[in-house]
């Protein structure tokens, strides 16, 4: 695979000794999380280099409900008052210990929940076990694990000798990203300047490691081909075998803002060819082309990912160009049928889950990005494209730890392209209940709609050249 180097770590163990000294910067905090072999609890020791009173609050209500015990070292007074832990100490280093109960987390839990158990591992969001100082922005976190156990987290890892730990902003702990703890395979995929931390959990039957790796590498390679590099410098890629489902990836999700991560819940029994034909992984990885965005921008970020789930795979031969165009056309047809008179794209975006307006949102957005791509190429004589604008956005603005508004992202794309292509298309179609008009786009591409609304491919040389420019090798 182009530019992909596999660095196998196998099933690893991260063993830590006693808590390290607090960092030199005043106000930072150190957390050591002790994980038992039973994975039924987490014992947390938190140390702070500061005197005087402190208040800790749970990163979420889930942490509050799972708190079981609370104690402190001699000379430190600690007590719980509602949803706060109050600490009083005149010592320069104050340490408290608390236990988080995970015994009730079962394998029957839905994978979207904050905690779920799967075979020899447990998945938890950091909000489940972290009580945080209200006035500190940075913490250091490390895990103490039994031999043969591993940890996978969406944060950047720092080494001190043989000790691995994380330094994170407290805002990063409030995302819905997950940490995997337990027995599982973990390895790194290095793609040019990016590092992808892969964790493949155990399943019944076990996932075939070579098949999963080749599937991951093929899609990583495809997304890297869009503008010559992987979109983010670091990614946690979590694969959870479910052993059930009618498709290879019943559920996929990208999480942002607390370290970039992609979670894939797979039916490991499916064949390699079925995995390679599936669109979910390329879709989720394509979300890394944009920054973390507000929910009111769903048509933007889902549309962009839906467009590139075909473009990226065509670039490296996972799909033929004709298969990619046919796949896009099929999606556009679903989006056209999924609309409803009187419901604008902006309305569908706002109420997508409640009204099950997924097809209108995803594929209207994809059509708008096709229109933007074509207009950029036409107006610049081929010198400009959506690929190039996204590459410029990558250079200026990624990775990003803050949420962007939809209009803010589109205006930045306008600025980078020196146009108003993106904002004008949003103005045209955002308040419309009609699917974006693709008639002229299809004419430019030499595409026709034939019987039963199937896609036809004309031999117009200009159209063929434009189709190949979009879907052909980089």
**Domains annotated on the chain, with CATH:** 16-176 (2.60.40.3650), 290-474 (1.10.390)
The pLDDT tens digits for 280-314 are 999 999 999 999 998 889 999 999 999 999 999 99
pLDDT of residue 215 exceeding 80, the answer is yes
Sign of CA dihedral 464, 469, 470, 474: positive
Integer Cα distance of 51 and 456 in angstroms: 73
Q: DSSP readout, 226-295?
A: TTTS-SSSEEEEEEEE-S--SSS-SEEEEE-SSS-EEEEEE-TTS-HHHHHH--HHHHHHHGGGS--B-G
Residue 465: which of 321, 306, 307 has the closest Cα? 321
Q: Which of 202, 201, 190, 220 is nearest to 286 (CA)?
A: 220
pLDDT value at residue 58:
87
Residue 52: band (very low, low, confident or very high) from pLDDT cuts 50, 70, 90:
low
Q: Which residue has the tokens 């999380």?
A: 33
Predicted confidence at residue 401, as pLDDT, reads: 79
Work out the pLDDT band at 397, boundaries 50, 70, 90.
Answer: very high
Tens of pLDDT, residue by residue over 74-83, are 889 999 998 8
Assigned token pair, 81: 């008052």
A 10 A CB-CB count for 11 gives: 15
Mean pLDDT of the 17-26 span: 33
| Residue 12: per-residue pLDDT | 28
Confidence band for 5, pLDDT divided at 50, 70 and 90: very low
Q: 146 and 42 in contact (C-beta within 8 Å)?
A: no
| CA distance linking residue 387 with residue 391, whole number of Å | 6
Question: How does DSSP assign 159-184, residue by residue?
Answer: EETTEEEEEEEGGGGGSS--EEEESE
Residue 160: C-alpha distances to residues 16, 164, 170, 220, 423 (Å): 11, 6, 21, 30, 48
pLDDT, tens only, 439-471: 999 999 999 999 889 999 988 899 999 999 999
Least confident residue range of 48-62, 95-109, 248-262, 431-445:
48-62
Whether pLDDT at 113 is above 90: no
Per residue in 147-201, pLDDT (tens digit) is: 999 999 998 887 654 455 888 888 777 777 899 999 999 999 988 889 999 999 9
Q: pLDDT value at position 185?
A: 95
Distance CA 26, CA 109 (A): 41
Nearest CA to 449 among 364, 337, 314, 330?
330
Q: How many CB atoms lie within 10 A of CB 295?
A: 12
């Amino acid at each position: 695979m182009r530019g992909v180097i596999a660095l196998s770590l196998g099933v690893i163990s991260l063993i830590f000794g006693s808590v390290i000294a607090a960092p030199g910067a005043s106000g930072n905090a150190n957390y050591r999380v002790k994980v038992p072999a039973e994975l039924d609890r987490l014992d947390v020791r938190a140390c702070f280099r500061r005197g005087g009173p402190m208040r800790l609050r749970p990163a979420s209500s889930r942490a509050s409900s799972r708190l079981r015990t609370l104690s402190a070292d001699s000379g430190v007074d600690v007590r719980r008052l509602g949803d706060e832990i109050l600490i009083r100490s005149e010592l320069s280093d104050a340490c408290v210990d608390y236990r988080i109960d995970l015994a009730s987390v079962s394998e029957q839990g839905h994978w979207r929940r904050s905690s779920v158990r799967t075979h020899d591992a447990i998945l938890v969001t950091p909000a489940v076990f972290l009580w945080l100082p209200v006035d500190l922005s940075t913490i250091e976190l490390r895990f103490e694990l039994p031999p043969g156990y591993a940890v996978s987290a969406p944060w950047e890892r720092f080494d001190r000798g043989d000790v691995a730990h994380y330094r994170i902003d407290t805002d990063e702990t409030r995302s819905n990203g997950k940490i995997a703890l337990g027995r599982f395979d973990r390895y790194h995929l290095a793609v040019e300047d990016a590092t992808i931390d892969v964790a493949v959990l155990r399943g019944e039957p076990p996932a075939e490691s070579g098949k999963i790796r080749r599937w991951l590498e093929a899609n990583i390679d495809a997304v890297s081909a869009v503008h010559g590099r992987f979109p983010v410098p670091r990614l946690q890629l979590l694969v959870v075998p479910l052993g059930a489902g009618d498709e290879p990836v019943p559920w996929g999700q990208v999480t942002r803002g607390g370290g970039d991560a992609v979670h894939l819940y797979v039916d490991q029994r499916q064949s390699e060819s079925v995995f390679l034909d599936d669109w979910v992984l390329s879709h989720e990885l394509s979300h890394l082309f944009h920054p973390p965005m507000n929910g009111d921008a769903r048509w933007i970020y889902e549309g962009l990912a839906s467009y590139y789930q075909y473009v990226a795979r065509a670039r490296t031969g996972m799909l033929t160009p004709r298969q990619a165009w046919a796949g896009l056309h099929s999606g556009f047809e679903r989006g056209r049928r999924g609309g409803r008179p009187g419901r604008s794209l902006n309305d569908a975006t706002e109420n997508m889950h409640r009204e099950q307006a997924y097809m209108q949102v995803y594929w209207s957005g994809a059509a708008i990005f096709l229109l933007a791509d074509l207009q950029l190429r036409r107006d610049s004589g081929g010198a400009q494209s959506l690929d190039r604008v996204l590459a410029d956005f990558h250079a200026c603005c990624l990775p990003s730890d803050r949420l962007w508004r939809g209009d803010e992202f589109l205006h930045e794309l306008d600025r980078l392209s020196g146009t108003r292509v993106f904002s004008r298309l949003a103005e045209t179609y955002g308040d419309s209940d009609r699917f974006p008009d693709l008639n002229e786009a299809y004419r430019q591409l030499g595409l026709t709609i034939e019987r039963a609304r199937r896609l036809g491919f004309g031999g117009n040389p200009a159209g063929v050249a434009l189709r190949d420019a979009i879907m052909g090798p980089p």
